[in-house]
Structure 1
Amino acid sequence: MIVKWWVTAFQLTELFVSSLVHLSYGFYLFSTAVAGDVSQSVTNWIFKPKFEGNKEIKSSNDLPPIVLVHGIFGFGEGRLGGHSYFAGAEKKDDRVLVPDLGSLTSIYDRARELFYYLKGGQVDYGEEHSKACGHAQFGRVYEQGHYPEWDEDHPIHFVGHSAGAQAVRVLHQMLADKAFKGYENTSENWILSITSLSGALNGTTRTYFDGMLLEDEKLIMPVSLLQLCRIGVIVYEWLDIPWMKDYYNFGFDHFSMTWRKVGIRGLLDYLLGNAGPFASGDWILPDLTIQGSIKLNRHLHTFPQTYYFSYATKHPTKVMGFAVPSGIRGIHPLLFIRVLQMSQWRHPQHVSPPYKGYRDEDWWDNDGALNTISMTHPRLPVEHPSCLVIKDSDCQPLQRGIW
């Protein structure tokens, strides 16, 4: 009994510290973005610059664009003031595009948004999907696409970080399946290459530590970090403060969760789990569980004419047969505990393994957010063609259709 109380106390303490760290970091990013914009406005007012910036355009119209797709809680160009998710890559070349997708919306919804960001028009989530998930069929309008000429003769390079890699793979399959109404000429050859940076290609055990239930990937533990996140997002969306959403948007506008449309009663429904994305499971965390990724991957292919690259990361090392973080020097202190947790992962015995041949130790290597086994190449439920490369020179000449 005493041991049980100690375990509970430790879990609550961990939840408090983790919540405080995440909240503080989010407030830091938001406040520095606002402060940066205010400072820039004052500077421009005082000095009245006659030119804007010093961006050097190094691109050529003969080169295909590179589209950088952010992961969970990420943001695209134009959000959070002067902050850049990809370290300012979009500011160095006008052929580098960083779309602003829903930071917590489902992989499916993000893939749809990505298509219309490039081609232009109003985002169409599909009638069947929209009805099943309880949101509007149509979303944001792009008056002008960022690359409207996109087709088989003008293919694109995609780079996806974390969950962004899966969003690109789902988009790739949609292009092959001609899933966009009014665009019957799409094909898998619209994408020249896909590069995955620490991509969530097979899910992550981090989702379970943060609150997703192993028994049902759509449900959240009553007391968990994700439960607090859910409540915070619902309140943020319901308040619908325009200037705040201009800085950061979770992407749930198509659910119409604003107080103007649902009132107090609607807010209670969302908080009680009777409606909204968290009730229907149409948000990103269920897609990042191992079970959710397996369901998603069943319909995704590796295509023979596309180049595939993946970069995997890990921080644990083996000490006396146990996986432990490789050291404070090589990892941010705030991630140290997360790496340690994931390197000691044990699948509960009362829950069936997610796939045949599952072993805990296969999932121990991680970078604090994702398991290394998930980053290398799609392998669940079917192993996709792959080749482990240590040096870049080992993969010359480049081969299509293989990770």
Structure 2
Amino acid sequence: MCLLLTLVLALSLCAIPAAAADTQTRSDDPVVFVHGLFGWGQRDKIFSIMPYWGMTTGSLPDYLATQGYETYAASVGPLSSAWDRACELYAQLVGARTDYGVKHAQDFGHERYGIDYETPLFEGWGTQRAVNLVGHSFGGATTRLFLEILTNGCPEEVAAAKAAGVAPSPFFLGGKGSWVHSLTAIAAPHNGTTFIEANSDF
């Protein structure tokens, strides 16, 4: 009796994923891949020779495109901070000049503005056309910070811009969390990393 019950239970569990697969829907929202430290995206020349997402086995975004998915591989700083990378990702998605923020630029001694992405990765990003973010390694940390700022903004940056008599980036105003449909992190250092301990210059 026990063996029969075990067999029935095992067969029932095997049938559940198959039944669930029949009812799954897929998102038509674009998928945006965000690379990790020392990585590259589709705007970088090396991507056409060896795509970060797939390396020598071929391009994962290209493969997914053949399956009907709309995919993009963002290009953010390979050795930049999570903040700088999040700002660069926002600029690429809206098609604008990268604005790192008045306060951030002052605090860390670099220019407020960076690369000007004249055309967005795709047209129409917003509440009606959200993105599915996929971040690998430090790209996972980047996308989490990106979503945090996109959702809640950065009051310190808004205040610093106001004090300087300039307009803050719309990125720092928040209220756009619905512009992201999902966030998937692959091997991301959510709990920190020992990499920093290995090099005191960081």
Which whole-Å CA distance do the structure 2 matches of 1:125 and 1:117 have between them? 13
Confirm whether residue 162 of structure 1 aligns to residue 137 of structure 2: yes
Which whole-Å CA distance do the structure 2 matches of 1:104 and 1:185 have between them? 26
Which whole-Å CA distance do the structure 2 matches of 1:182 and 1:74 have between them? 27
Contact 2:41 2:51 in 1 (8 A): yes
Q: Deviations over 1:30-80 (max 9, x none)?
A: xxxxxxxxxxxxxxxxxxxxxxxxxxxxxxxx8111111100011111331
Q: 1:176, CA displacement in angstroms?
A: 1.1
Confirm whether residue 191 of structure 1 aligns to residue 157 of structure 2: no
* 2:53 matched residue in structure 1: 86
Confirm whether residue 65 of structure 1 aligns to residue 30 of structure 2: yes
Confirm whether residue 108 of structure 1 aligns to residue 83 of structure 2: yes
Which whole-Å CA distance do the structure 2 matches of 1:186 and 1:97 have between them? 24
* 1:74 matched residue in structure 2: 39
* Unaligned 5+ runs, structure 2: 1-26, 155-167
Which whole-Å CA distance do the structure 2 matches of 1:120 and 1:114 have between them? 10
Contact 2:151 2:174 in 1 (8 A): no
Letter paired with 2:49: G
Choose from 115, 123, 133 the match for 1:140: 115
Which whole-Å CA distance do the structure 2 matches of 1:137 and 1:211 have between them? 27
Normalised by the size of structure 1, how large is the TM-score? 0.36
Letter paired with 1:133: F
Which whole-Å CA distance do the structure 2 matches of 1:107 and 1:137 have between them? 15
Q: What SS does structure 2 have at the residue aligned with 1:98?
A: strand
Confirm whether residue 128 of structure 1 aligns to residue 97 of structure 2: no
Q: 1:168, CA displacement in angstroms?
A: 0.3
Q: Deviations over 1:293-333 (max 9, x none)?
A: xxxxxxxxxxxxxxxxxxxxxxxxxxxxxxxxxxxxxxxxx
Which whole-Å CA distance do the structure 2 matches of 1:155 and 1:65 have between them? 7
Confirm whether residue 171 of structure 1 aligns to residue 146 of structure 2: yes
Q: How many residues align?
A: 152
Letter paired with 2:41: G
Q: 1:185, CA displacement in angstroms?
A: 6.8
Q: What is the alpha-carbon root mean square deviation over aligned residues?
A: 1.9
1:280-319, aligned counterparts within 5 Å?
A: 285=202
Which whole-Å CA distance do the structure 1 matches of 2:87 and 2:96 have between them? 12
Q: What SS does structure 2 have at the residue aligned with 1:174?
A: helix
Q: 1:147, CA displacement in angstroms?
A: 2.6
Q: 1:120, CA displacement in angstroms?
A: 0.6
Choose from 173, 194, 197 the match for 1:205: 194
* 1:306 matched residue in structure 2: none
Which whole-Å CA distance do the structure 1 matches of 2:123 and 2:153 have between them? 17
Q: 1:181, CA displacement in angstroms?
A: 2.2
Which whole-Å CA distance do the structure 2 matches of 1:125 and 1:207 have between them? 23
Normalised by the size of structure 2, how large is the TM-score? 0.69
Q: What SS does structure 1 have at the residue aligned with 2:74?
A: coil
Give the % identical residues.
28
Q: Deviations over 1:355-387 (max 9, x none)?
A: xxxxxxxxxxxxxxxxxxxxxxxxxxxxxxxxx
Taking a change above 3 Å as real, the CA distance of residues 178 and 205 of structure 1, as seen in their structure-2 partners, is closer
Which whole-Å CA distance do the structure 2 matches of 1:182 and 1:198 have between them? 30
Contact 1:178 1:185 in 2 (8 A): yes
Contact 2:152 2:174 in 1 (8 A): no
Deviant stretches of 4+, over 3 Å? 182-186
Which whole-Å CA distance do the structure 1 matches of 2:194 and 2:98 have between them? 32
* Unaligned 5+ runs, structure 1: 1-61, 213-219, 221-284, 286-403
Q: Deviations over 1:152-191 (max 9, x none)?
A: 2211101110000010011101111235624657421211
